[in-house]
Amino acid sequence: MEQSELMVRRIKEGTVIDHIDEGKGLQVLDALGIDGKDGSLITIALNVPSGKFKKKDIIKVENKFLKDDDTNKLAVIVPNATINIIKNYKLVEKRRVALPNEVDRIFRCSNPECITNSTEHIESIMDVMDKEGRVLKCRYCSRVLDVNKLRYN
Ligand SMILES: [Zn+2]
């Protein structure tokens, strides 16, 4: 068993998001809208040793099976993350995150004049132009967005 596995207790049912880039764990929770207010048990491990010189973050959400639609949002922030679905202590599904064709709500358009930044309360919609290069484009103002500089909604 990997050392990192031992640091966070095993869960019976739920989702484990593994291989989150070091320091991005809290952003992942934010992007998924997970705040623990529904009473679900959430374990967050930051800076877990992974390999010789690397670290990673891990999030375990008990009694919740995150769907592709949810976890694919993470492809923008943590493209190397893996999603593990656990049932009765067993890993029943393991998948990589994959960038969807559009990313809704999570990010704010960087154009201050964009209608999504006005007081109209219009949710952002960004089309993914290039999945490899992670290039997004605001559907409202057509601004091409650098994923590394996006701010969260
Ligand atoms: Zn825009």
pLDDT at 2: 54
pLDDT at 131: 83
Ranking 98-102, 117-121, 142-146, 147-151 by mean pLDDT, the lowest is: 147-151
Give the chain's mean pLDDT. 88
pLDDT tens digit string along 70-111? 888 888 889 899 999 999 999 999 999 988 899 888 889 999
Residue 111 CA to ligand 1 center (angstroms) comes to 5
Residue 45 CA to ligand 1 center (angstroms) comes to 34
Residue 72 CA to ligand 1 center (angstroms) comes to 21
Enumerate domains of the chain plus CATH numbers: 3-96 (3.30.70.140), 102-152 (2.30.30.20)
Residue 139 CA to ligand 1 center (angstroms) comes to 7
Q: What gap in Å lies between CA 14 and CA 85, rounded to an integer? A: 6
Residue 67 CB neighbours (<10 A) = 11
pLDDT at 109: 94
pLDDT at 110: 93
pTM of the model: 0.78
Which residues are paired to 82 by β-bridges? 18, 96
Computed from CA positions of residues 75, 8, 86, 39, in that sequence, does the dihedral angle turn out positive or negative? negative
pLDDT at 3: 55
pLDDT at 44: 93
Q: What gap in Å lies between CA 86 and CA 12, rounded to an integer? A: 7
Q: What gap in Å lies between CA 76 and CA 61, rounded to an integer? A: 20
Residue 119 CA to ligand 1 center (angstroms) comes to 14
- Residues within 5 A (CB) of ion ligand 1: 109, 111, 114, 138, 140-141
